[in-house]
Amino acid sequence: MNRRKFIANASYTGLLLSTGTYPLFASPSEPEIERLTILHTNDVHSRIEPFPMDGSKNEGLGGVAKRATLISRIREEQKNVLLLDAGDIFQGTPYFNFYGGELELKLMSQLGYDAGTIGNHDFDAGVEGLAKQMKHANFPLLVTNYNFANTAMQGKTQNYRIFRKGGVRIGVFGVGIELKGLVPDKLYGDTQYSDPVAAAQKWGEILRHEEKCDYIICLSHLGYKYNEDKVSDRVLAQNTSNIDLIIGGHTHTFMKEPERLVNKDGKPVLINQVGWAGIVLGRLDVYFEKNKKGTCITCKNLTV
């Protein structure tokens, strides 16, 4: 089926949806479609205001108050929206030096972020500094491979969060980068890092099989890819099962479109990352067809 026909079908289904009677009367040739709209940022680095007009490359770009308008407009158009961030919320403008990340988390809460993960720079005021600001966040920070036992962050993060959007169950979990050598020892303190691939494998299984998620998103601050032998989003995607989408960060990579890879079970995985500083907001529209097991009329070969 070509894309135009698919979209026509999707909007036709939308029409049926609005009548509220579709499950009883929809014919088998017109399957029920749900659309999930994922909006995402990464490495915003305390860029509260747009870059100053100083003749530099990024002058005038970004700004939280403008991003808020854009997000509100998308929410007016779309029913099922998830807003996610892949870490390095902190550091880069005096707002962080002066207020320790308070305003960054307040604004993300106001914008309605559903979840975020922890980047290396989020330790820049120490693990205590991060813990102190957590009261300003009304959304969870998700991370599965940092053990915060015996630190100020103990009990302040979660492994995953389940979102239910239009009947679809979406599981979101997080992985963080190795801190040793990247963050000064005294800043991350007793935080214990463990292998993100093993953590992603474990929590992916739990979300798919125990939590019965239809779609699994990993928020990652590992970085998109490296020349040297180092775990990255590409390594994570190809060496785990169950992840459908990796929202990445750390390498400040402006990706024109999501990269499509195959996981270790031969199933498709997507990776996306949108640079840094809130210059770009990423958007992925994910379409689900509700149908019998083994039957999907609109399904595409997502591996390309």
CB of 229 to another protein, least distance (A): 17
How many residues are there in the chain? 304
CA dihedral (270, 213, 223, 81) positive or negative: positive
C-alpha–C-alpha distance, residues 85 and 283, integer Å? 12
Six-digit token pair at 145?
Answer: 């491979």
C-alpha–C-alpha distance, residues 29 and 212, integer Å? 26
Q: How far is CA 222 from CA 3, 62, 227, 250, 285, in A?
A: 33, 23, 14, 6, 24
Nearer to another protein, 63 or 134 (CB): 63
Nearer to another protein, 15 or 24 (CB): 24
Helix (H, G, I), strand (E, B) or coil at 230: coil
CB of 82 to another protein, least distance (A): 13
CB of 50 to another protein, least distance (A): 7
Say if CB 160 and CB 144 are below 8 A apart.
yes
CB of 179 to another protein, least distance (A): 13
Nearer to another protein, 158 or 298 (CB): 298
Q: How far is CA 100 from CA 85, 131, 179, 186, in A?
A: 18, 11, 20, 17
Nearer to another protein, 199 or 219 (CB): 219
Nearer to another protein, 21 or 150 (CB): 21
CB of 196 to another protein, least distance (A): 23
